[in-house]
A and B are shown apart, each in its own frame.
Chain A
């Protein structure tokens, strides 16, 4: 009874897990090299504090989320001073990359005019066209696109025309030169004191006066010109108006300011604004140390290649085992099939639960493990043959072969496991994926050897003790030794 449980445990487990994975249509999460996309390693200077890198990763995540069209972006710290950015299945890769990797410049600029007031870009002026009264002549200042009315290259030290999308509709602002930058900010926090979200902004001590001067100036104005635009790179993130109770003679003093964000629904945008104000610029600058682009077709081809190669390899190995070891070969084939199902399910579940992605190197690890697993069977079957040769009874020989082979397999697998662990701990990127699948496969192999094969061989051995059913040899051949 105990043996039957031991024998059936792994096959049943593998079928159950496979069934679960199959019915819930959980599939292994594919790495970028298998589904296409772009992968970049961004490296900061060597002595960058880990804390700064963590902050940078957080900001990158918010930025890429704002970008929208990326499915399941993965941004993770890799190594001491590198960040691995993986953007699968992306169409506008270069833009997304810039969104993630550039340091970003945060500036505060007074609003001169906006399309909110005029209805069209304040940069464009229209004059009557004598030939075609329907289409007036458009003219734009230098450096401004005539079609969109936006500055082509933003220069924070001069007047520019920039776009804002945060209010749900596009607004074009005409902005004066930058008066303050992200460096002047000490801290920013989103708070909800009563019925309203507020972003609390603190300037650094030596920037407080600058801010007071700026708000004095703004408070003396009316309409759109009372607004101060917060600009990140070339986009206006927010343009809060200086409150009407601020006196033009005093301005906002004390180096603190509060931006009213509106009612309870505005929590998310308040937080976003606070994050941008706090870290609008990445705290560290990164260099792209590696870019890899994989087209979706190549990824798919590689995946198919891996799967086909694995399957064909498994079939040929099975035929080979059956021809050589016959009945025992059948055990091996069943064992390998169950091993395959279990392995697939675990990889799929790891992807679902732990976010493990199967990469090319991982598939290579799987293919390599087919050979190692098949070898465990071969070791046992060869041991059995040795025992039969010295004239042991069949039942005794199977028991003894299983026991002795276990020691050998244990040592050999131990070597593989040590190798996988060391590779996993010390290596980077693709090598880790390989080490993980190889290590996992080796651990499974140990379980299969101990539980499945060790009981299956003696079990099958009871069917017949004619060597012809186990080897391409007759009893006479074996006894002649």
Chain B
């Protein structure tokens, strides 16, 4: 089996599988829509970081008990909306809603006294809600321009239907990542937004390499239209590369998560690595399971 995979001589009939994949895709699409509707109507809530909601965070490294935490939550200086603790470290993060500068300083001193940590060692962050909005707005603007350019590029080099497929695959990866975030309740930070933009790059990169391979196979078969043989040959051959590339891309990212976890650091880098890993796995999945059914449809119309 491994040898066949490596030689690209697996004889999977992707054209036939296309119908099955299509059904899976429809199910996924329904789940995504449900999650989007649920999060828009407020049934599921997005765990937005302080960058988007506005407020303050205090992170400190200390030994604490559950009683300490509930005492902090019930303090009468600031309204602490959430806290976060970590398995492998003594770090604890408190999040508070927006308040006056005096209250914030007072709370900082309170934490400093309570946990016997000097104020300079307490990570303090204050953000107005505009900061996160700014990043998101600019991100969306970048996204729209980028996607139009890419669609144009793919249409010129391959054909417009390929561009449509690439965008569907992309949307799939973004929605999958988003859905996982909403379902698990992982915190959405500006790093997550950057990661989503990177996923986009990965997803397209993978799809473009696949399209190139399709074009190549068409040349080998000396035909101008996509057909069943081209599709099957291409996907059987490309399987190994897809797996290898995903592995080489995923390894450094997994090492960030693993080492970060081991060192007890759950900061920005981990915020970045987790969505990226989800995106890479999703990108590999979609470059086969999402593109194949749509390519099969192109074959039918040809």
Query: Across the interface, do A312 and B259 meet the contact criterion of CB distance under 8 Å?
Result: yes
- Min CB gap A372→B, angstroms: 7
Q: Does B3 interact with chain A (Cβ within 8 Å)?
A: yes
The verdict on A52 contacting chain B, using a C-beta distance below 8 Å, is no
Whether A430 contacts B126 by the Cβ 8 Å rule is no
Interface string of A272-314 (1 = CB under 8 A from B): 0000000000000001111111110110011011101110111
In the assembled complex, A471 has its CB within 8 A of some CB on chain B: yes
- Interface residue stretch chosen among A159-167, A183-191, A235-243, A409-417: A409-417
Determine if B74 is an interface residue (Cβ-Cβ < 8 Å): no
B174 at the interface (CB under 8 A from A): no
User: Which residues in B have their C-beta under 8 angstroms from that of A293?
Assistant: 122-125
Does residue A71 face the partner (Cβ distance < 8 Å to B)? Answer: no
By the criterion CB–CB under 8 Å, are B255 and A427 in contact? no
Is B128 on the interface with A (CB-CB < 8 A)?
Answer: yes
Known contacts: A385-B8, A430-B190. The answer to whether A422 contacts B146 by CB under 8 A is yes
A66 at the interface (CB under 8 A from B): no
Q: Taking the complex as formed, is B37 at the interface, i.e. its CB lies under 8 A from any CB of chain A?
A: no
| Contact residues in B for A341 (Cβ distance below 8 Å) | none
Q: Is the CB of A367 within 8 A of B252?
A: yes
Question: Are A305 and B263 touching (Cβ within 8 A)?
Answer: yes
A389 proximity list for chain B (CB < 8 A): 7-8
B256 interface hit (Cβ, 8 Å)? yes
- A305 and B266 CA atoms in complex are apart in Å by 10
Q: Give the chain B neighbours of A60 by CB distance below 8 A.
A: none
> Taking A289-B127, A291-B127, A431-B197 as contacts, is the C-beta distance between A415 and B134 under 8 angstroms?
no
Chain B positions within 8 Å of A471 at CB level? 6
Q: Do most interface residues of chain B lie in helix, strand or loop, or is the interface mixed?
A: helix
Interface contact B125-A301, CB-CB below 8 Å: no
Interface pair A378/B153, CB less than 8 Å apart: no
Contact residues, A362-377 vs B (CB, 8 A):
363-364, 367-368, 370-372, 374-375
* Contact B138–A294 (Cβ < 8 Å): no
A426 to B137, CA, bound (A): 10
Residue-wise, chain B 186-204 has the 8 Å CB interface mask toward A (1 for contact) of 0000110110011011001
CB contact under 8 A between A316 and B131, given known A368-B276, A382-B241, A477-B7: no
Q: With A302-B268, A302-B269, A305-B259 given, is the CB distance from A418 to B252 under 8 Å?
A: no
Interface centre among A294, A418, A423 (most CB of B within 10 A): A423
* Total residue contacts A-B, CB cutoff 8 A: 219
Q: Are A416 and B128 in contact (CB under 8 A)?
A: no
Between B59, B197, B255, B280, the greatest number of chain A beta carbons within 10 A of the residue's beta carbon is seen for B255
Rounded to whole angstroms, the CA-CA distance of A374 and B246 in the bound complex is 10
Q: Which residues of B contact A386 (CB under 8 A)?
A: 8, 237
Q: Which of A306, A320, A321, A375 contacts B269 (CB 8 A)?
A: A306
The closest CB in chain A to the CB of B126 belongs to A291
* Contact string against A for B residues 232-274, beta-carbon threshold 8 Å, 1 for contact and 0 otherwise: 0000010011001101111111011001100101011100110
Decide if A344 is an interface residue (CB 8 Å cutoff). no
Least Cβ–Cβ distance between B254 and chain A, in angstroms: 8
A408 touches B8 (CB 8 A): no
| Contact with B255, one of A33, A309, A438 (Cβ below 8 angstroms) | A309
Are A472 and B6 in contact (CB-based, < 8 A)? yes
Known: A290-B131, A305-B265. A418 touches B149 (CB 8 A): yes
1/0 per residue A83-121: CB within 8 Å of B? 000000001011000000000000000000000000000
A1 nearest CB across to chain B (Å): 32
Which residue on A lies nearest to B256, using beta carbons? A309
Total number of B residues with any Cβ neighbor in A under 8 Å: 73
Given the contacts A293-B123, A308-B259, A415 and B272 also touching, CB distance less than 8 Å = no
Q: Is the CB of B7 within 8 A of A41?
A: no
- Tell me the smallest distance from the CB of B132 to a CB of chain A, in Å: 9
Tell me the nearest residue of chain B to A404, going by C-beta: B216
Nearest chain B residue, comparing its CB with the CB of A424: B142
Complex Cα–Cα for A387 and B209 (A): 17
Whether, in the assembled complex, B130 has its beta carbon less than 8 Å from a beta carbon of chain A, the answer is yes
Please judge, given known A-B contacts A371-B252, A408-B212, whether A415 and B267 are in contact too, CB under 8 Å.
no
The smallest C-beta distance from B276 to any residue of chain A, in angstroms, reads 7
Docked-complex contact B269 and A291, CB < 8 angstroms: no
A408 to B217, CA, bound (A): 13
Bound Cα distance from A372 to B263, whole angstroms = 27
Contact of A287 among B59, B128, B244, B280 (CB under 8 A): B128
Note all chain A residues with C-beta closer than 8 A to B256.
305-306, 309, 313, 367
Could you jot down 25 A-B contacts, CB within 8 Å? A33-B268, A289-B128, A289-B131, A291-B126, A295-B122, A297-B61, A301-B265, A309-B255, A320-B244, A370-B252, A372-B249, A374-B249, A385-B7, A389-B8, A412-B209, A412-B212, A415-B201, A416-B205, A419-B200, A422-B149, A427-B139, A428-B138, A431-B139, A473-B7, A478-B7
Given contacts A94-B105, A427-B142, A430-B191, 9 further A-B contacts (CB under 8 A): A291-B127, A293-B123, A295-B120, A301-B263, A361-B191, A382-B244, A411-B212, A428-B135, A431-B135
Residues of chain B touching chain A, judged by Cβ–Cβ distance below 8 Å, are 3, 6-9, 51, 59, 61, 105, 120-128, 130-131, 134-135, 138-139, 141-142, 145-146, 149-150, 153, 157, 190-191, 193-194, 197-198, 200-201, 204-205, 208-209, 212-213, 216, 220, 237, 240-241, 244-245, 247-253, 255-256, 259-260, 263, 265, 267-269, 272-273, 276, 280
